Amino acid sequence: MDQKLAVVIMAAGKGTRMKNPDMAKVMYTVDGKPMVEHVVDLALRLRSARTIVIVGWQKNSVIDSLRRSGKSVLCVEQSPQLGTGHAVMQAEPQLKEFTGDVLVLSGDVPLLTEKTTSNLISSHRDSGAAATVLTAVLEDPSGYGRILRDAQGHVVGIVEQKDASEQQQEIKEISSGIYIFQKQPLFQGLKHITQENAQKEYYLTDVFQYFWRKGLPVRAVLANDPIEIGGINTLQQLDEARAEYARRIG
C-alpha cells in the first residue's frame, strides 16, 4: 500500500527585500500565477493527502487567492511568526489523525520540479530515514544554512548562516529549506527545539539535533539543478525565475 504524504507549504513571510509591504511575497506571479500556487500545484501532483499552507503576512490575499483557485488546501495562520520550526508546529493539529510522511516546501520556490521532489520522497522512503534534506551546491551559498558532514559523508549538522563559523560559511553545500520527515519524530522533535540562536527563532533545522541525539538517521539528497531550489527574495531573483520558467515552457 502506498504511504501517505502530507505537504506543509511555508507562506507566512513578509519578503522585505521585495520592497512592497502591501503584498505577500508568495503572491508575486510567475507566468501569471502566484508563486505559492505553483507550489500548491506541485503538492497536488505529488498526490498529497493533505496540503497545508502556513500563512501570516498579508494572509487574506493568500487565502483568498487560493480559495479562488479552487484547489484543495487548508490555510493555517502563524502569528506571531517565530521561525520555520514554529511555522510547522502550526500544522500539527491538522495532522493529528494523519499517518505518513510530511513534506515541507517553501511558497517562494516556484521552480522546484516534480521529478526532483519525487526523487527526494523515494530516496527518503527507501533509506528509512527519520528525515531527508534536499541540498544543492552553490558557488555563492550566502543566506543559506550549510550542510555539515563527517568523514564518511554522513549528514551530522545543519547550521544557519547567522550561526555559522567562518569556516562553516565556506561550505558550498546548502540546505534548500525543503525536507521530508516521518511525521511522528518530526512533531516529537519540535517539542525539543528552543529560540537559543542569533535570530531568537525556532529553527526547523534544530529538530535534527534531537534526531541525532536519539540515533535517528538523517539523509541528504542533492538536487541536480540548483536553479530549482532558489528562493525568491528580491525583484531581480523574481525576474530570473520568470525567465527560467519561460525558457522551460518555451
Q: Which of 17, 67, 149, 213 is catalytic?
A: 17
How many helices (H) and strands (E) in the chain? Answer: 8, 11
Q: How far apart are CA 99 and CA 155, in angstroms?
A: 26
Q: 3-class DSSP state for residue 23?
A: coil
Q: Please list the alpha-helical segments (H only) found in the chain.
A: 35-45, 59-69, 84-89, 114-127, 166-169, 183-190, 207-213, 235-249
Contacts of 223 by beta carbon, 8 Å cutoff, 6+ apart: 116, 134, 135, 136, 176, 229
- Radius of gyration of the chain, Cα coordinates, nearest whole angstrom: 17
CA dihedral 112, 137, 201, 94 (to 10 degrees): 30
Q: How far apart are CA 35 and CA 29, in angstroms?
A: 6
Helix H, strand E, coil C: the string for 126-155 is HHCCCEEEEEEECCCCCCCCEEEECCCCCE
Q: How far apart are CA 32 and CA 247, in angstroms?
A: 15
Q: 3-class DSSP state for residue 124?
A: helix
User: Is 17 one of the annotated active-site residues of the chain?
Assistant: yes
Positions annotated as catalytic residues are 17
